[in-house]
């Protein structure tokens, strides 16, 4: 199809990146392919550590299979068999055989594969990523005008604002798919300099999530509609848990945790800490869910457990679960989502 041909041609264009910098040395780089976070450098005692998984060769992002740092959409996570009923109309969304035949992360050619327009602010602290999805793209209804704003605030914090408008009713659920490794991981190396060690995985990290429930799923990871309590399960992170201890029990993590409600517009949802580097990531979000994924399917040049995704988002398959918070966006309304990655470093 002509649209597919244009996508392939556009995907092969040279990668464009923009880097935001603060006076503290905190630095964030974003690529136009997927509006992806390709690095987050945190100053640590005279050096800077990259806290997200990164390809050595930037052009490798053009063939990325792991959603590395990408913006997910139009619908992050899964929609059962790609079937959507909205305002009396039925839509068949693009599905992924590798995801059990469900629609995953907006379809095989979702936002993560698209080339975005990047507009940097003169202060090098803000960046707007823009993309317009056509009506029927990956099967979704509605022309969707999308913006993702990256903004550095304070010394070591990154604010991500997601905005979208549609010309007809649709569903929207956007998120970022960065794989965090607070040891300064780059392609499985501790410091990105060829050195290796126990710190090259996320097993030593401590994870805390403010969530008393999770969305129970069937064998294909589609929610049953039940919000199950985490107490007594391997999904209980209400107090800090060493990730390696949990992975040895269950092999891998891939669960949507239902965040505890609060009165604040944005609240702290999770904390990730590396005792090796002394870096802590505090994640704040306006969203109801947090998908925790330990990278069990990561392959070359990385490997299982090389990084962990903390994907602030709406609940998976919400369009087919009326008991879940709605993800419907009506014409004339604006979708808004804010996630903040705030990094702190232990003195040393």
Set 27, 208, 311, 342: catalytic member: 311
Q: Is 102 known to be catalytic?
A: no
The first and second tokens of residue 198, run together, are 């126990």
pLDDT < 50 positions in the chain: 1-6, 9, 186-199
206-209 and 241-242 beta bridge pairing: antiparallel
In terms of residue numbers, what domain contains 340?
2-202+275-345
- pLDDT value for 198: 41
- Under DSSP, the state recorded for 69 is T
Q: Classify residue 136: in a domain, yes or no.
A: yes
Q: 177 with 297: CB under 8 angstroms?
A: no
CATH code for the domain of 283: 2.70.98.10
The total domain count for the chain is 1
Sequence-distant (≥ 6) Cβ neighbours of residue 4 within 8 angstroms: 109
Q: Is the pTM of this model over 0.85?
A: yes
Q: What is the mean pLDDT of the chain?
A: 92
Q: Residue 191 domain-assigned?
A: yes
Task: Measure the N-to-C terminal CA separation of the chain; round to a whole number of Å.
Answer: 58
Q: What's the Rg (C-alpha) of the chain?
A: 19
Beta carbons within 8 Å of 201's beta carbon, 6+ residues apart: 181, 185, 188, 244, 303, 305, 306
Question: Would you say residue 210 lies in a domain?
Answer: no
Predicted pLDDT of residue 263: 80
pLDDT of residue 185: 53
pLDDT in tens, 227-237: 999 999 999 99
Nearest alpha carbon to residue 272 among 286, 292, 299, 257: 292
The confidence score (pLDDT) of residue 144 equals 98
Q: What is the pLDDT of residues 246-303, one digit of tens each?
A: 999 999 999 999 999 988 889 999 999 999 999 999 999 999 999 999 999 999 999 9
The answer to whether position 222 is within a domain reads no
Residue in 102, 105, 177, 284 annotated catalytic: 177
Is 311 a residue of the active site? yes
φ, ψ for residue 7, nearest 5 deg: -60, -45
For residue 287, being part of any structural domain is answered with: yes
Alpha helices in the chain, H assignment, sequence order: 2-11, 243-250
């Amino acid at each position: 199809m002509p649209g597919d041909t244009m996508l392939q041609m556009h995907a092969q264009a040279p990668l464009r990146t923009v880097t935001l910098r603060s006076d503290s040395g905190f630095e964030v780089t974003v690529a136009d392919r997927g509006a992806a976070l390709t690095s987050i450098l945190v100053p640590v005692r005279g050096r800077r550590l990259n806290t997200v998984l990164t390809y050595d060769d930037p052009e490798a992002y053009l063939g990325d299979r792991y959603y590395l740092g990408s913006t997910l959409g139009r619908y992050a996570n899964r929609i059962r068999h790609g079937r959507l009923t909205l305002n009396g109309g039925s839509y068949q969304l693009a599905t992924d055989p590798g995801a059990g035949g469900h629609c995953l992360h907006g379809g095989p050619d979702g936002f993560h594969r698209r080339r975005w327009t990047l507009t940097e602010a003169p202060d090098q602290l803000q960046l707007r990523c823009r993309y317009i999805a056509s009506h029927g793209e990956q099967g979704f209804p509605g022309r969707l005008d999308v913006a993702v704003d990256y903004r550095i605030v304070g010394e070591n914090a990154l604010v991500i604002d997601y905005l979208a408008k549609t010309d007809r009713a649709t569903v929207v659920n956007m998120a970022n798919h960065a794989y965090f490794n607070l040891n300064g991981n780059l392609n499985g190396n501790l410091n990105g300099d060829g050195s290796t060690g126990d710190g090259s995985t996320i097993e030593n990290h401590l994870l805390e999530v403010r969530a008393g429930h999770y969305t129970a799923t069937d064998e294909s990871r589609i929610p049953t509609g039940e919000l199950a309590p985490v107490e007594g399960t391997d999904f209980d992170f209400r107090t800090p848990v060493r990730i390696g201890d949990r992975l040895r029990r269950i092999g891998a993590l891939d669960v949507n945790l239902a965040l505890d409600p609060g009165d604040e517009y944005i609240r702290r949802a999770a904390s990730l800490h590396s005792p090796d580097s002394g870096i802590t990531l505090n994640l704040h979000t306006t969203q109801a869910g947090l998908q925790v994924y330990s990278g069990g399917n990561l392959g070359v040049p990385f490997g299982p457990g090389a990084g962990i995704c903390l994907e602030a988002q709406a609940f998976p398959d919400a369009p087919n679960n009326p008991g879940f918070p709605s993800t419907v966006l009506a014409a004339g309304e604006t979708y808004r989502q804010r996630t903040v990655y705030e990094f702190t470093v232990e003195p040393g």
